[in-house]
Structure 1
Amino acid sequence: METRSNHVLVGAVVLILIAVLVLFTVWLARLGTSEDREYDIFFKQSVDGVSPGSSVTFSGVPSGQVKEIAFWKEDPQFVRVRIIVKGDVPILEGTTAAILGSFTGGSTIQLDGAVKGAPAIRCPEQNPRAACPLGVPVIPAKAGGLGALLNSAPRLLERLSTLTERLTELLGDRNQASIAGILANTDRLSRALADRGPEIAATLAETRITIQKAGAAAEQIGQLAGTTNTLLAEDVRPAVGNLNKAISAAQRSMETLDATIGDARPGLQSFSKKTIPEAGQLIQDLRQMAAALSSVAEKLDQGGATGLIGAPKLPDYEPKKK
């Protein structure tokens, strides 16, 4: 009996200790996670290597772990990754998340980019569904690290393949012959230039002398321009002044002539209206008088003074002889 009683007592004590240990462990777990915060990250890239329990770091410092990975039902091209982060981690506006892969197969969630003084990422009080579709704040995702490199690897390999093909075409037999000819021509040109080195040096020296002469000629042209400016200032300007005076005098004379014509205009009008018609009548009378005098003179010439008094003498009649 005593042996059984001892076994029962030992078993009871062990069970009690196990229960206390379990309760203590649960209490510690709750105590450690009472300030933990959950966030969602929506990745549009592959999350290969990330699994529940994967590490979450902030600027390289371990800060939490991955809780859940699932497709987002509203848009299956996004993969939703829910993480649990310690309460003292500064998840502020400007923080971004990226997958930091490794060649060993495991990947971690890398958080960084927090700005000093920025507010914490929280669900807004107004319209929280738009910013927090699943009830927890969302950390923006970005492609980076090895994940971005692996995502761009197919495109990079395609470009490398295209580049390799083009290099192969460029270095074909025909192009190699052309390149060899170009190199040979370049070699001959270099030798020709080396042989003509003294002539090129002499040409450069002559060019230098020509440039110096051109500089001297330009200086002389500048001096000539200065002399021309002086001549214009000393001789032409007085002549221009005299010309201006002559123009002013001529203008005054024209003004005086205009005034004189204006004063004589009434007399001219009277002369044209009265004197000219009378002079015309006088000229007509003089013409008639001249015609009469011409007739008298003609009569005196033909018949003398009697021609003016009597009729003209008829010629004597002589009968015709048979």
Structure 2
Amino acid sequence: MIKAGIIGSTGYAGGELVRLLLQRDDVEILWYGSKSYIDQKYASIYQNMFEIVDDSCLDDNIEALAEKVDVIFTATPQGFLASLMKEDILSKTKVIDLSADYRIKDVDIYEAWYKMEHKTPQFINEAVYGLPEINREEIKKARLIANPGCYPTCSFLSIYPLVKEGLIDPSTIIIDAKSGTSGAGRGAKVDSLYCEVNENIKAYGVGVHRHTPEIEEQLSYAAGKPVTISFTPHLVPMNRGILITAYGTLAKTASYEEVKAAYDKYYKNEYFVRVLEKDVVPQTKWVEGSNFVDVNFKIDPRTNRIIMMGAMDNLVKGAAGQAVQNMNIMFGLPENKGLKLIPMFP
């Protein structure tokens, strides 16, 4: 039995972690942490948990939690874990962090984009970027996982094979991304109000979105050289889902079969990455509520460019599902245990 604790359990990602972990008979949640709702019944905050969860919310005392559990999930704002992390915590338990605190290896870049001082940079190099399709072997041995961001996960998996195989010029990559409103979190914000979001679509974080350096860093590892991209996210009026449409110039003439072979080389044996059939475009509806990422591509010979596409659920593969996938790997369990979720439709 894996004993787990969640700090930030009342946000959307934390709530999704609870939903996923409660379905398992090999995991026990001992700590529903929430600084905003201490001593309140968890089911009073998420009524869908009525008569399922009887526990009340506890505080965010990560040191006390480390004494009780085998793994801690931190679904918290940027800077929270970095301000509290100690060697003593990691000596007692594993930590899977859903924030950006340990994703970016260059602390100066982190501080520049997130506008805050990193309090514990000594743990950055140890933290493993928790994208199982790329870093599976490192995850197996890790104490600290930096769970990837939602946009970076979908963007990277859509583009990675072509950058890795040198089929596109990485300096030409442009990423157009769209996300449902749950990606903005559960906090009350004017921009997330129903009347602001419904019947509307808008770009945000144009040229300055904080996921940009994360995507660039991971693509740079794949390319073997620094990569700079243009990344623009958009907010769309739906609850869940991310759709990526990325563009890049072909480094050489390539046929459909050559490009498809590149995707198959990296994803043929990946349970959660589905390379779609020719001319089938990814849709968020086909992955909703699941840990799958659907990817595909289209060659445009007229412009010598290729369009790379991906769709996934931002709360599952983009956050909680990927965190559980990482937990499975860390504890030597089947990677898809508890994650064989069939996408919901309609």
TM-score, normalised to structure 1, is 0.18
Greater RCO, 1 or 2 (C-alpha within 8 Å, sep 6+): 2
Higher gyration radius (CA): 1
Please identify which structure carries the higher strand content. 2
Q: Higher helix share goes to which structure? A: 1
